Amino acid sequence: MDNKVIHPNAKIGKNVEIGPFSYIAENVEIGDGTWIGPNVTIMDYVKIGKNCRIFPGAVVGAIPQDLKFAGEVSYVEIGDNTIIRECATINRGTAASGKGITKVGSNSMIMSYVHVAHDCVVGDHVILVSYVGIAGETVVDDYAIIGGNSSAHQFTRIGAHAMVAGGSLIGKDVPPFILAGHRPLVFGGLNIVGLRRRGFSNERIDNLRDIYRVLYQSGLNFSDACRKIEADFEPSDDRNLILDFVRTSKRGLIKVNLSGTLEEE
């Protein structure tokens, strides 16, 4: 007898493996081929995709650590092929936020002791390294990487393909495609290595470099820099993503490093 507890109303897909001493609550859906190790707790109102791997000690779907939470039904949703390592915690949403759901996308890795708070949105192909904590309603866009022992303030956003150095305090928004590091957290150039690994051409990288020179090195404020970028650069998905990110930022952007130079290599 392995002493695992699986509620009879839980929806368990085909070829799902659940280890001993794990607990699966009633309002849980687990996709085909997912592996859940021993001593895992999956609480109510959680949907897990196909071929995920959840390691010992992880807790998914606990009620939010949020004083606004009033016992309402809220959710956690995890995509396909995502890995959740030892002792990570992913909390449900809070209705007062207007969302009521915490989301983690597909093909992402949530490493050991990571905390994903209420109403966060973590995209696809994201890596949150061990001991990262992201506060409520943080957004981490696709392909972003946050280094270990970093903390993100509530409502911050980390853009697509960005890489944040370990031990960072993320109090402002981190634009897409860049490196960020130091204390306080500052812009450190393009994420050249990451972009090349993902197949970005030299021409595409050069265009991003030129856009960020306007944004961070022209001496213009961010609003004026956006207008110049819009006027001087041909429309593209990359250009439009940066402009939309800057213009919709709620907490403001991280600043440039003190030297004002790009530190890409």
CA 234 to chain centre: 29
Residue 10 backbone dihedrals phi, psi, to 5 degrees: -65, 145
DSSP state at residue 138:
-
Find the farthest-apart pair of alpha carbons in the chain and give their distance in angstroms, rounded.
68
Type of residue numbered 251: R
Q: Which two tokens stand for residue 206?
A: 């050069």
Type of residue numbered 62: A
Residues annotated as catalytic (active site), given as ranges: 118-119, 136
Find all residues with CB under 8 Å of 139, minimum gap 6, and list them.
120, 121, 156, 157, 158
> Alpha helix locations (H) across 127-250?
192-197, 202-217, 222-232, 237-248
Burial of 23 (C-beta count, 10 Å sphere; 0-12/13-18/19+): middle
Q: Which two tokens stand for residue 72?
A: 């309402």
